[in-house]
């Protein structure tokens, strides 16, 4: 089955609370009072708001829309924002939803397709349009990749007006997950390569950096040797630099704050990354890494109840 939940880290990683969900979840977001928000993996049909110990509130999306896996809240907590796709046209949008009812209040185009993660930059929203064409009848099956159009867009957080749009030089790089550096001056974007040529795909970069003016891909010198296969999972940053989880390489690709390659930190089936102060927590199959970007990173064991479980794409540190 599939679950979202709360894990305790004081001692072996232990399940404190769990909620069964209908299909595989993707992004999670935690409100100030400990309430969890989670959206179904794309193309998804459910959104849930759940405070452990209370009944969850479910929202099932209209048949003309699908959730794209990510949800965040506004600064005051009045609104939730989700990335979605219009099933009829394939165009992506941001839906602004009432935080209490989960009903849609407004919809704004993202000026692209396959919108994925979104993040606040002051009063504006930055959204990653993955750009990968799919069809409603085939779900996640990719098609017509020669028509890919991935971009990063900035939207007015009140009106949804387009304030800027940026693309990488290589159209086969899909922009997916987002994380600010600690100073919130540079945005890191995890990439997923969609090249038809296997050699080009395996050598492709998995990190791009955006300084508010320009967007550039960062080379991954040892991509082929380390088996990254052009696939970046979750994205995170601390004072020590950037981290992109690479589940196909069973490791975390690490970079300096300026984007220079540092190396691959091994961790079987790693994907979920979360920042706690100066530390990076990385979730793997049999154990996790605490302070994963440090030269003295330490394995964090999983309790017996998690030995048959797999941590999924995302987690966050709360409290």
Residue 307: its pLDDT value, please?
A: 83
Residue 155: its pLDDT value, please?
A: 98
Residue 36: its pLDDT value, please?
A: 96
pLDDT range class, residue 143, cuts 50, 70, 90? low
| CA 226 to chain CA centroid, nearest Å | 22
Query: Residue 13 has which token pair?
Result: 């990683």
**Residue 255 above 70 pLDDT?**
yes
Determine the 3-state secondary structure of 308 from DSSP. coil
**Residue 146 above 90 pLDDT?**
no
Is 17 in contact with 3 (CB distance < 8 Å)? no
Q: If you write DSSP's letter for every residue of 62-87 in order, what string do you get? A: PTTEEEEEEEEE-TTSSEEEEEEEET
Kindly state the percentage of the chain with pLDDT values over 90: 83
pLDDT digits (tens, 9 = 90+) for 53-103: 999 999 999 999 999 999 999 998 899 999 999 999 999 999 999 999 999
- Residues in CB range of 111: below 8 A, 6 or more apart: 129, 151, 153, 162, 165
pLDDT digits (tens, 9 = 90+) for 13-44: 999 999 999 999 999 999 989 999 999 999 99
Mean pLDDT of all residues in 252-270 = 95
Question: Of 8-12, 127-131, 134-138, 296-300, where does the model show the most confidence?
Answer: 127-131
Mean pLDDT of all residues in 164-180 = 97
Query: Residue 172 has which token pair?
Result: 């086969």
Residues 6 and 317: their CA atoms lie apart, in Å, by 10
Is 128 in contact with 116 (CB distance < 8 Å)? yes
Query: Residue 141 has which token pair?
Result: 């099956």
**Alpha-carbon dihedral of residues 70, 233, 309, 266, nearest 10 degrees?**
-150
pLDDT range class, residue 139, cuts 50, 70, 90? low
**pTM of the shown model:** 0.95
DSSP character for 245?
Answer: E
Residue 43: its pLDDT value, please?
A: 92
Across the chain, mean pLDDT equals: 93
Residue 222: its pLDDT value, please?
A: 84
**Residue 148 above 90 pLDDT?**
no
pLDDT digits (tens, 9 = 90+) for 188-219: 999 999 998 999 999 999 999 999 999 999 99
């Amino acid at each position: 089955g599939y679950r979202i939940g709360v894990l305790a880290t004081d001692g072996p990683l232990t399940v404190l609370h769990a909620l069964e969900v209908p299909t595989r979840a993707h992004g999670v977001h935690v409100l100030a009072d400990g309430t969890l928000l989670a959206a179904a993996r794309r193309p998804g049909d459910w959104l849930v708001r759940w405070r452990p110990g209370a009944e969850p509130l479910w929202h099932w999306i209209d048949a003309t829309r699908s959730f794209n896996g990510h949800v965040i809240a506004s600064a005051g907590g009045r609104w939730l924002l989700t990335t979605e796709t219009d099933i009829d046209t394939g165009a992506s949008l941001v839906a602004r939803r009432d935080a209490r009812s989960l009903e849609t209040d407004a919809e704004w185009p993202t000026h692209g397709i396959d919108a994925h993660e979104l993040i606040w930059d002051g009063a504006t929203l930055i959204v990653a349009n993955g750009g990968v064409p799919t069809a409603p009848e085939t779900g996640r099956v990719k098609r017509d990749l020669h028509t890919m159009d991935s971009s990063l867009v900035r939207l007015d957080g009140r009106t949804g007006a387009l304030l800027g749009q940026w693309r990488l030089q290589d159209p086969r790089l899909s922009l997916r997950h987002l994380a600010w550096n600690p100073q919130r001056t540079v945005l890191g974007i995890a990439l997923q390569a969609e090249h038809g040529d296997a050699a080009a795909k395996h050598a492709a970069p998995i990190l791009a950096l955006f300084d508010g003016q320009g967007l550039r891909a960062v080379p991954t010198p040892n991509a082929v040797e380390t088996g990254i296969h052009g696939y970046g999972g979750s994205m995170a940053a601390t004072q020590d630099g950037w981290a992109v989880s690479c589940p196909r390489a069973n490791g975390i690709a690490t970079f300096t704050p300026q984007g220079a390659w540092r190396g691959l930190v091994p961790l079987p089936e790693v994907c979920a990354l979360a920042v706690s102060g100066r530390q990076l927590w990385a979730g793997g199959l049999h154990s996790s890494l605490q302070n994963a970007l440090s030269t003295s990173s330490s394995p964090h064991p999983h309790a017996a109840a998690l030995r048959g479980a797999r941590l999924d794409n995302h987690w966050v540190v709360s409290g």
